[in-house]
Structure 1
């Protein structure tokens, strides 16, 4: 896999587009500019990797469009060294973004073939999450909780109670909520029992499925 001047130029164009669409977090924009998105796509999609579009990655899953990745990441308000739980490792691109921002990443993928493929890819790229696992994202990772932030990269009909329980007080859960169309939702944990809810517009995600495997 090569990252060329052409790829870097296309990433800079993508970053300019993301700025126009309202992404303001400089760290997020710099990370998008640095990470070769084409590494996370099948070779047939390489020439399209820096379009602001989602693409299939197999197993009925997609790599989210760059704007969605940037938007969700911006909503996390990450600080270096924080523990982040990612529900839906997918292609590994969002994982790479979180890792590059200095997060300690814990990630779950429910599709076994995709999990194995992405685990190998991340290893080859020198991207080392704290923990990668194959399993049910609805359950989270209670053995590694609590987390400073949780990001869900699939559409969920409800907010899983397990994920709410695994969020630190003061932590942020970013989740697309809904069936066919999702409302990007942020929950901020105020104390043991109270959460503050904010909504940030409509998106479309593949569904978060429970106990599929």
Structure 2
């Protein structure tokens, strides 16, 4: 496989047509080597338009989804980022290239170690992995400029919103099967948030994600 040709095809045939037009984001996809973050067994499909399997039933998001989220969050060099759901560490590595510091929280110990190893192998120095349950955020280090939830949330917890700084942005896949909305939520002030729905997709919910109430009145 010609890796650089495959990477070029991913960017031009999958990502750019998905309204990812920010040249800095497109350049970043050439800098952060996706093939270095996938399990060895799936190296040949690192650039495919699909969710690559990870240990213990988890998946990497499709490349076009990751790129679109990255574009919409518009992370700046002075900002601190919380990611929930480290997976392979690839999304955190992308974020780290644009941010001052990234903390990514992973509930699965094997995946947390995989992400750490991938950071070390790829020289990602400004991202760290915390082992734990981030379904309600990670209040110990709050507030954050940016929060990126790399898993589905049937309900967006208020506790998570409150960990954003004023002016901060949160990206989350909100809703239930068969379709979720990728939303960008911006904190306007202490009590107000602006929600923008960007696209529809489906992403497996986070473990221990808050579930909608089943009570009917």
Instruction: Compute the TM-score of the two structures, normalised by the length of structure 1.
Output: 0.91
Residue 28 of structure 1 is matched in structure 2 by 25
Residue 150 of structure 1 is matched in structure 2 by 147
Q: Identify which range, 34-43 or 186-195, moves more after superposition.
A: 34-43
Query: 4+ runs of 1 displaced by more than 3 Å?
Result: none
Residue 198 of structure 1 is matched in structure 2 by 196
CA distance in 2, matches of 1:164, 1:21: 27
Q: Deviation at 1:130? A: 4.3
Contact 2:145-2:168 within 8 A present in 1 as well = yes
Contact 2:119-2:125 within 8 A present in 1 as well = yes
Aligned residue among 83, 97, 101 for 1:100: 97
CA RMSD of superposed structures (Å): 1.6
Residue 82 of structure 1 pairs with residue 73 of structure 2 = no
| Map 1:1-213 → 2, pairs under 5 A | 6-17=2-13, 18-180=15-177, 181-210=179-208
Contact 1:27-1:101 within 8 A present in 2 as well = no
- Unaligned 5+ segments in structure 2 are 210-217
CA distance in 2, matches of 1:154, 1:43: 23
CA distance in 2, matches of 1:207, 1:143: 23
Q: Deviation at 1:47? A: 1.4
Contact 1:55-1:64 within 8 A present in 2 as well = yes
Q: Deviation at 1:138? A: 2.0
How many residues align structurally? 207
